Chain A
Amino acid sequence: MSDAVTSAAAIPQPRAAGHLQFYGIWLIAAVALVVLPLIFTSGGSLTSFSLIGISIIFALSYNILLGQTGLLSFGHAVHYGLGGFLAVHVMNAVTAHQWPLPLPFIPLAGGIGGLAFAILAGWVMTRRAGTVFAMISLGIGELVASSSLILRSVFGGESGISTDRTALPPMFGWTFGPQIQIYYLIAFWLMVSAIAMYALTRTPLGRICNAVRDNPERVEFIGYDPHVVRYLAYGFSGFFAGIAGGLAAVNFEIANSAYLGATQSGLVLFAAFIGGTAYFFGPILGAILVTYLQLGLTDVTSVWQLYFGIIFIGIVMFAPGGIAGLLMVHRSLIRAGALGMMIPSYLVAVIPTLALAAGVTLAIETVARYTASEGAGNIINLFGIPFKATAPTTWATAAVLVLGGFVVARITWQRIAVAWDRAATVARDRGYLA
């Protein structure tokens, strides 16, 4: 299959060794999930792991749409949010009526919430793909987000609806009060959802989704209705997004209108696209990176969202395959033994590119501190070097770094492109690169 590179299948097929490799990866992932909290025991890292786990499920569910079916959605958080709200309501109902439903099943309620909305709205939305779908998803997203503020009794207005996860009946003696138990709950659902979503890519439905993405007209000719296929994919995607939302509700013990909003939809798009939508593991990488950056950068800088935007624009412009795409391209070079040809030009490019990045960072931080004008916080610490936001030398340094870095970096990037062409030719001759 010549399009294997662009399909969701990242892992090559059968043979005994292949099977071992295939199941090995999942086994390693499972073991890593179990062991992680034993290595990083602090409360902060547990919280981070939980958030990352949730956003991985969310990003993977998004990729059923974007990567697999080619539907660019700007309102995916609707399913996440509605799943979260339904989960909270179910939790409160379980507590109120003393139903024997333990907490680990709550995310399923979230999934049903996401699925229900997908079934309801999906038929109209998926009638057309491409830009029209993107716009409609945005409109529906706004519609739901604004309605959530009107229907106070369901969505709790501005403050949202809170719940108490420990009030639910315990399971295996776990009360799910401590974060570690919540972490393992999230890890469990992460494993289950990831396996289910991977399995989905291997089913005939998953394959026909790829076909609908690549050539809907031809799909129609062979007797499938692209609309139905898109609708089904939308349903699955909504379901898993709902699970993520349910987990978020369990984790935070609250659901509010921010869950549904455009920011959440934007973040999941960033995560999936930065990670790379062409491969199954791309959104996983993206979700880890984006969540980690989000948690890490908020402490360091007030304008962290701007950095997201810049990283995202950079990826769109220069590496539309995302991180996963970059990795996989290099993988075939390594196999062909042609990576050595790239390393010198990479090394040359590192310094000016870093200078450019540092310059941009310094410029952004300087402007941010300068305009914040609170006076106290205008000393910037960049790599341990203090800069004063009001000093002309800082502005000059930033300008020199940006301009000089850009001019030099451009030359080195051109060298990379040349070296790349040579390496790719070698790899192609040896049959490792399509």
Chain B
Amino acid sequence: MISTLNGVLFGMLLFLLSSGLTVIFSMMGVLNFAHASFYMLGAFFGYQLTRWIGFWPAFVIAPLLVGAVGMAVERYGLRNAHKHGHVAELLLTFGLAFAIEEIVSMIWGKSPVDYRVPALLDFPAFTVFSTNYPAYKLFMLVVSGAIFIALLIVLKKTRIGLIVQAALTHPNMVGHLGHNVGRVFMLVFGVGSALAGLAGVIAGPSLVTQSNMAGLLGPILFVVIVFGGLGSLPGAFIASLFIGLIQTFAVALNGSLASIFGPLGPGFGPSVLTDIWDVTIAQIAPILPYMLLVLILIVRPMGLLGTRET
């Protein structure tokens, strides 16, 4: 029960990030390596602003700041690199991710910062099996759920959403129809970064706010969008929840082959076999997403709901 809630929560966080990433990717063809860095920036901006002006203003301002950073990156960085091709854009975001991590660890240090849950939400919401479930996690769930619904409405019901959706599948045609594709790109990039920033602000107090958090989450994000199918928002949603649940459950489980079938005979000694035999599911949780990635690539290379061969 608790694990399910946590898994859904982690999945929703992943979706906040992967939705922006996959929309940016399918519209602009740019795999934004710095996306997880925007998430980290959000967490650190949130932390700093919380110290200066309190959590609630930070909750609003930090994502906007991150969005502004994202727009600046698109306007002054990616747009210039675009003329050198997609590889240059990809490398630019890679360099940015690297630089942002260094800047963050330079300013806030390498150790975790003390980013606390706001006092208003610092109480147990309910108790299951004598475990308290913190209200803040419920708040995270509500926020990410609300964002998800808002995103759905914007994409399905508004004109901007229509343009974005059209640009997902037919970017050139949208340009031909006279929309300022450059501005749409900048907007989408900004909103995507802001969503990542928001994820950072709300995840920061609950998870650890540290300068390596982007490096830890970034590769998982890529797994999510490849797994769900590149450019597919529903795919990203399903994959986010799936990977969120799997990882959370795996961390909670302590079983290993040894605990099921009993320890191996001493004849095997310390070898690869005993390593695999004794490893607990919790220990392999970090590599599960990558195993899924390899699996999906062998079974269905375009991802769960993907249709495009990129």
Which residues of A are at the interface with B, using a C-beta cutoff of 8 A?
Answer: 70, 72, 74, 124-125, 127-128, 130-132, 134-136, 138-140, 142-143, 146-147, 150-154, 262, 266, 269, 273, 303, 305-306, 308-310, 312-313, 316-317, 320, 364, 367-368, 371
What 0/1 readout, one digit per residue, does chain B (221-248) give for beta carbons within 8 Å of chain A? Answer: 0110010001000000000000000000
Shortest distance between the CB of B294 and any CB in chain A (Å): 7
* Contact stretch, chosen from B5-13, B89-97, B122-130, B156-164: B89-97
Q: Is B301 touching A128 in the complex (CB atoms < 8 A)?
A: yes
What 0/1 readout, one digit per residue, does chain B (86-112) give for beta carbons within 8 Å of chain A? Answer: 111011101110110011001111000
> Taking chain A's interface residues, is the majority helix, strand, or loop, or is none over half, making it mixed?
helix
Given contacts A150-B275, A316-B88, A368-B106, contact A127 B301 (CB under 8 A): yes
Q: Is B271's beta carbon under 8 Å from chain A? A: yes
A-B contacts besides A125-B297, A132-B230, 16 pairs, CB < 8 Å = A128-B310, A131-B90, A132-B310, A139-B290, A146-B286, A146-B290, A150-B279, A150-B283, A152-B270, A306-B99, A308-B98, A309-B96, A309-B98, A313-B95, A317-B77, A367-B107
Q: Is A316 touching B287 in the complex (CB atoms < 8 A)?
A: no
State the 7 A-B residue pairs at the shortest beta-carbon distance, nearest first: A309-B99, A143-B290, A306-B102, A313-B95, A309-B98, A312-B95, A320-B84
Given contacts A273-B91, A309-B99, A316-B95, contact A135 B298 (CB under 8 A): no
What 0/1 readout, one digit per residue, does chain B (30-48) give for beta carbons within 8 Å of chain A? Answer: 0100000000000000000
Q: Is B154's beta carbon under 8 Å from chain A? A: no
Taken together as a complex, chains A and B put the C-alpha atoms of A130 and B301 apart, in Å, by 14
CB neighbours (8 Å) of B92 from chain A are 313, 316-317
Taken together as a complex, chains A and B put the C-alpha atoms of A138 and B294 apart, in Å, by 11
What 0/1 readout, one digit per residue, does chain B (113-147) give for beta carbons within 8 Å of chain A? Answer: 00000000000000000000000000000000000
CB neighbours (8 Å) of B284 from chain A are 150
Q: Is B293 touching A134 in the complex (CB atoms < 8 A)?
A: no
Q: Is B291's beta carbon under 8 Å from chain A? A: yes
Name which of B98, B107, B276, B286 has the most chain A CB atoms within 10 A of its CB: B98
CB neighbours (8 Å) of B99 from chain A are 306, 309-310, 313
Q: Is B81 touching A153 in the complex (CB atoms < 8 A)?
A: no
In the complex, which residues 241-299 of chain B have their Cβ closer than 8 Å to any Cβ of chain A?
A: 270-272, 274-276, 279, 283-284, 286-287, 289-291, 293-294, 297-298
Q: Which of B219, B270, B286 contacts A138 (CB 8 A)?
A: B219
Q: Is A316 touching B274 in the complex (CB atoms < 8 A)?
A: no
Q: Is B287 touching A306 in the complex (CB atoms < 8 A)?
A: no
Taken together as a complex, chains A and B put the C-alpha atoms of A309 and B96 apart, in Å, by 7
Q: Is A371 touching B108 in the complex (CB atoms < 8 A)?
A: yes
Shortest distance between the CB of A312 and any CB in chain B (Å): 4
Given contacts A128-B310, A312-B98, A317-B92, contact A371 B107 (CB under 8 A): yes
Shortest distance between the CB of B33 and any CB in chain A (Å): 9
Name which of A273, A309, A367 has the most chain B CB atoms within 10 A of its CB: A309
Q: Is B80 touching A142 in the complex (CB atoms < 8 A)?
A: no
CB neighbours (8 Å) of A313 from chain B are 77, 92, 95-96, 99
Q: Is B171's beta carbon under 8 Å from chain A? A: no
Looking across the interface, which residue of chain B has its beta carbon closest to that of A143? B290
Give 14 CB contacts A-B under 8 Å.
Answer: A124-B294, A124-B297, A128-B301, A130-B310, A131-B25, A131-B90, A139-B293, A146-B286, A150-B287, A266-B98, A309-B95, A320-B88, A367-B107, A371-B109
Shortest distance between the CB of B14 and any CB in chain A (Å): 15
Taken together as a complex, chains A and B put the C-alpha atoms of A125 and B293 apart, in Å, by 11
Q: Is A306 touching B106 in the complex (CB atoms < 8 A)?
A: yes
